[in-house]
Amino acid sequence: MNVIMGLMAIGVDAAALNNAGDEPGEMADNTVAVKKIRTKTGTHPYVSAQAIRYWWRQTLESKYNWEMSPITRETKIAYTEADPVKYPDDDVFGYMRAKKIMVDGKGGKKKSKNVTVTRISPLKNSPLVSVSPVRIVNDFGVMARQQGDPVPYEHQFYMATLKGIFSLDMDAVGYFTTETRAGFHNLNESSIESYEKNGNLIIENNGGISTVKISEDLKQKRIKETIEALPFLFGGAKSTLHLTDVTPQLLVLALFNGGNHVLANLMYDNDGVPNFSIEALKEIIEDYKEEFLSKIYIGIRHNFLGNLRNNLEELKKQLESSKSDEENILYLGTPKQVVEAFLNEIYKSKNNKKS
């Protein structure tokens, strides 16, 4: 199982990246509140996983010219075309198209036929959550350009370091089945029939279950662009008043044999200060050294999280000077540099295996 695992963190000043609508009990009737989690230690603002996926799609569409799957809106539901061969976002981000059609039954009577298709997203991600509790600021303003009394309003923002995780199942990208179970019934037989005219696809039938595979070149393109988009992410609410850089200032990437996200808890709250655990990283390297299929790539901006860059450089020297299996397992650079180096390694090694 080849899974790209990632952890990313962003540091934001005066941000309001994801809002929850009106908040009762505030001074103004139309207060716009940010999304947040309240715990015993304090308040943690967050960006929903759905919002991050929206940013990711936006970036892929604008920078890499992805043709996005059209959305159909009906009375109570909305769905995409559910065509993962034609539309890369249907492939990478998954879908559920719940639909029934009327077909001819016995005696010429019409009957309902379920043609629902679903696909588990190869790309999975968590929300971005503030590592440490922060104080939410309420900003009071007025609309006063019109005649008459000014109209008061209020909105919230915060300063925080937010972190989240993601994974991309490389084996699942570009691979679709008609298996009749939730998440795996990606295609109907009618889709298979239409795909048979496409010479670039591999179509197989095994025990009544059909599978479709796109070309290896197209699969690699979708995977690479999904990861390459990370240093160019853009989005966020209230950008007119709170323009915020949402590109990762810390990015950890590795190819892993399995779906368990071992990088998830590298960041922690140290008495109100966000921190990154070098000791936890060393434990992960030792415990899972046989499961890592690549180096661990860590991209970090200088001065982000204090001396973390220097501490990681010191750890890298320690590992390289030892004669253990962990030597040369760390690659350090900027977030953009590690994306490029990581993709070069995993595709160089795959191509070598092919030859």
- Domains of the chain, residue spans: 2-60+124-168+223-354
C-alpha separations of 178 from 97, 123, 183, 202, 226 in Å: 14, 20, 10, 14, 25
Please tell me the predicted confidence (pLDDT) of residue 117.
Answer: 93
d(CA 274, CA 168): 26
Q: What is the pLDDT of residue 106?
A: 66
- The predicted pLDDT at position 287 comes to 94
What pLDDT, on a 0 to 100 scale, did the predictor assign at position 207? Answer: 85
Give the integer Cα–Cα distance in Å for 73 and 70. Answer: 10
**Contact call for residues 18 and 129 (beta carbons, < 8 A):** no
Which residue positions in the chain have pLDDT lower than 50? 352-355
Average pLDDT of the chain to the nearest whole number: 89
pLDDT in tens, 229-284: 999 999 999 898 899 999 999 999 999 999 889 999 999 999 999 999 999 999 99
pLDDT at 326: 54
